[in-house]
Amino acid sequence: MAANPRDIGRGDGHGDSSGAPDVFEIRAMTLEDIDDVTRIERESYEFPWTPGIFRDCLRAGYLCTVGTSDGKICGYGLMSFGAGECHILNLCVAAEARRHGNASALLDNLINEARKIGIQTAFLEVRESNQGAQVLYEDFGFCETGVRPGYYPHRGGKEDALIFSMNII
């Protein structure tokens, strides 16, 4: 399924010097966005996805979205789906745009799109050490439902992933 460009128009008060709030908009990711997306990815993760992984997600028809503020990409969310389940593959917001509800808006958009096509369950993995993201997912309604031992690369070894799931019917 191709993602439909979709604006959710949130004025959240982190505006420019005129005092006008920037509007965070969500639209489908395109191949042209991958340079900007991978720049944020490298700044955000110690073990970032390569541009090729983002290209593969687009080619596979996964739901790939970017969030923009003032036309500039400041976050993205990617989700695969099938057999009644969706899998949040990546959710990331540039450091300067965090704590304004932008990741929550990206996640909300992905889950709503999944609901529209009859998906019943959402799941994702998160690093055991990534407590900020865990709070975000718990606030959203996800519950921890399992562990994948040694799922992530980690300096000098591996790190467990916590599996979070949510019924989205």
Ligand X SMILES: CC(C)(COP(=O)(O)OP(=O)(O)OC[C@H]1O[C@@H](n2cnc3c(N)ncnc32)[C@H](O)[C@@H]1OP(=O)(O)O)[C@@H](O)C(=O)NCCC(=O)NCCS
Residues lying near ligand X in the complex (CB under 6 A)? 44, 91-93, 98-104, 126, 130, 132-133, 135-136, 139
Closest Cα partner for 164 from 155, 135, 150? 135
Task: Give the residue at shortest CB distance from ligand X.
Answer: 132
Minimum distance, C-beta of residue 81 to ligand X, in the bound complex (Å): 17
Minimum distance, C-beta of residue 112 to ligand X, in the bound complex (Å): 15
Beta strand pairing call for 157-167 and 121-127 = antiparallel
- Distance between CA atoms of 39 and 164, rounded to whole angstroms? 27
**Full strand arrangement of the beta sheet holding 157-167:** 6-11, 23-28, 63-69, 72-82, 85-93, 121-127, 157-167, 143-154
Contacting residues for 72 by C-beta, under 8 A, at least 6 apart: 36
- Give the three-class secondary structure for 20: coil
Minimum distance, C-beta of residue 124 to ligand X, in the bound complex (Å): 6
**Closer Cβ to ligand X, 2 or 153, answer by number:** 153
**Closer Cβ to ligand X, 58 or 161, answer by number:** 161
**Closer Cβ to ligand X, 98 or 154, answer by number:** 98
**Closer Cβ to ligand X, 2 or 145, answer by number:** 145
Tokens 């450091």 belong to residue: 95
Minimum distance, C-beta of residue 46 to ligand X, in the bound complex (Å): 10
